[in-house]
Amino acid sequence: MSADRPDVLDGARHPAEQTALFGHAEAQAFLARSYRSGKGHHAILMEGPQGIGKATLAFRFANHVLSHPEPLQAPETIADPSPDSIVTRQLVGGASHHLLHISRPADEKTGRLKSAITVDEVRKAGKFLAQTSGTGNWRIVIIDPADDLNRSAANAILKILEEPPKRALFLVLTHAPGKLLPTIRSRCLPLSLSPLSSADLASALESLGAMPSGARAGEVLDAAHGSVSQALKLVNYGGFDILEAFRTIVASEKDAPRRDVHKLAEVLSAKDSDIVFGFFCQHVCDFVTDAARQAAQAGDLPRADRLAALSSEIVERIGVAQAYNLDRKQTIIGLLDDIRAAL
């Protein structure tokens, strides 16, 4: 992670700095048409897996709107942001008076990201939107992602969405729309984004100088499931070693060697291991969900039900462990034991 931007992965660029968009051509075209019509929705809910470019598209659309504040005079398409434009420089520097990016704040003492977006962050949006724009330009709020809003923050955002000020635009990002308050979803226009194709993912990684060579390139494209962030975790954070260790433990016919279980748990619970821990948790959830789906397709409904229940339980346990800062090592050991038992 970057020291000054703990929310940016090693090898990545902040979405405001990304001048190219890989994939999502239809979604971008829809946003351009909707805005130019002058009848666009005041809140767009961008849905899709983590790391596929939702934030990049959000900042790209924000740049377009702020560069062309009169919808009826806006171009029919969204062009690549110019690094030399005033709007782009302000967005990259976090100095725009017309855009507020709400995400998990960093702890002043540790420098690590907090576990949730709190109501204090949302109050900043209220103050931001209450200000009068001297230029009459739009005021844009990007919530990145809304999944991280705690209950109080979610309710505060809901109140703002219910009575939005004029010329205000909300770009609400979510990796799991089903977890959001139904009332928040009902106030937004959904825009679903799909994982990147292998070709688009390869282009995105090449643009970052993060595309490995040889056989490992194909392995990254297969294992990343269309996500740039997942690919970067595989390449720059030892993701392949974590996956191999997990698969070895789960596939062990006899009891998995406790040494291997504890070794993996120690790696994932070490200091500054938030990225690899999140990567592991996401993989575990996907692994169990896929196992449940395969069982259902094979007609083994009892096994499918058991794994589906475990998948939901894992998500809840990980959320509780992070919210209450529980012992991460014990959480991981418990998850591994339960997965082996279920399989």
What is the full per-residue pLDDT of the chain (343 aa) written as tens digits? 444 566 799 999 999 999 999 999 999 999 999 999 999 999 999 999 999 999 999 999 999 999 999 999 999 999 999 999 999 999 999 999 999 999 999 888 777 788 899 999 999 999 999 886 667 789 999 999 999 999 999 999 999 999 999 999 999 999 999 989 999 999 999 999 999 999 999 999 999 999 999 889 999 999 999 999 999 999 999 999 999 999 999 988 776 678 899 999 999 999 889 899 999 998 999 899 999 999 999 999 999 999 999 999 998 898 888 878 889 999 999 999 999 888 8
H helices present in 187-256, as ranges? 198-208, 215-224, 228-236, 239-251
Q: What angle do CA 126, 136, 21 make, to 5 degrees?
A: 80
pLDDT score for 4: 55
Q: What's the DSSP call for residue 179?
A: G
User: How far apart (Å, rounded) are the C-alpha atoms in residues 105 and 17?
Assistant: 19
Scored b (16 or more CB within 10 A) or e, 128-167 reads bbeeeeeeebbbbbbbbbbbbbbeebbebbbebbeebeeb
Q: Which two tokens stand for residue 225?
A: 């499931």
Pairing of strands 99-102, 43-47: unpaired
User: How far apart (Å, rounded) are the C-alpha atoms in residues 207 and 134?
Assistant: 38
- Residue 173 three-state SS: strand
pLDDT score for 276: 94
Pairing of strands 43-47, 168-174: parallel
Q: What amino acid occupies position 298?
A: A
Contact between residue 340 and residue 314 where contact means Cβ atoms under 8 Å apart: no
Place of tokens 């070709």: 199
Q: Which of 287, 145, 275, 295 is CA-nearest to residue 223?
A: 287
pLDDT score for 1: 45
pLDDT score for 3: 44
**Secondary structure element (H or E) that encloses residue 140, with its range:** strand 139-143
pLDDT score for 2: 44
Q: What angle do CA 139, 116, 132 make, to 5 degrees?
A: 15
Place of tokens 């991460």: 328
